[in-house]
């Protein structure tokens, strides 16, 4: 484990605590070179439910955090939304999926959560995402969605 202060790889574990409820092991480490102390956390990787696209069980794929983030970033382009807010939104959806014990989740549910999250941040970004996600092609359905979002 490389020291975050001086960059050498010689650290010693000075304390270990296990948070069994959270499935975490925290290790307090001290750099043998500069004496800097820091903590590392080991966590069990939770298996996320598979995402079912368009309600078609044949189209299942693993949840792709980067893809979700890219979609949101695209909708937020040039809008006054901080990267931290986007990261929080993505993190919130990931946490929701980690808590969900079912084997599958519909892409509709994820999309709806993004739309709900963006609505609180920026209406334009919310609409942009909704238009791509809901595949709105004609102005009538865009108008319907705007009315629904603003309601």
Binding site for Zn ion (CB under 5 A): 3, 5-6, 31, 33-34, 36
* CA-atom Rg of the chain in angstroms: 21
Closest CB 89 distance from Zn ion, rounded Å:
35
Closest to Zn ion by CB, 11 vs 107, is 11
Are the C-beta atoms of 86 and 46 separated by less than 8 Å?
no
Closest to Zn ion by CB, 33 vs 112, is 33
Helix (H) or strand (E) holding 125, with range, is helix 123-133
- In angstroms, the Cα distances linking 20 to 14, 23, 28, 46, 90 are 20, 5, 17, 14, 26
Closest to Zn ion by CB, 15 vs 54, is 15
Closest CB 13 distance from Zn ion, rounded Å:
14
Closest CB 14 distance from Zn ion, rounded Å:
14
């Amino acid at each position: 484990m490389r020291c975050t202060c001086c960059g050498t790889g010689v650290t010693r574990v000075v304390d270990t605590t296990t948070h069994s409820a959270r499935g975490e092991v925290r290790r307090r480490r001290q750099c043998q070179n500069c004496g800097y102390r820091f903590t590392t956390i080991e966590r069990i990787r939770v298996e996320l439910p598979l995402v079912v696209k368009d309600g078609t069980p044949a189209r299942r794929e693993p949840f792709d955090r980067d893809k979700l983030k890219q979609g949101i970033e695209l909708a937020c382009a040039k809008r006054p939304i901080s990267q931290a807010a986007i990261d929080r939104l993505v993190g919130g959806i990931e946490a929701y999926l980690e808590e969900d014990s079912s084997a599958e989740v519909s892409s509709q549910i994820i999309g709806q959560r993004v739309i709900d999250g963006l609505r609180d941040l920026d209406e334009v970004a919310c609409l942009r995402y909704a238009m791509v996600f809901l595949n709105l092609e004609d102005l009538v359905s865009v108008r319907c969605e705007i009315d629904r979002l603003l309601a």
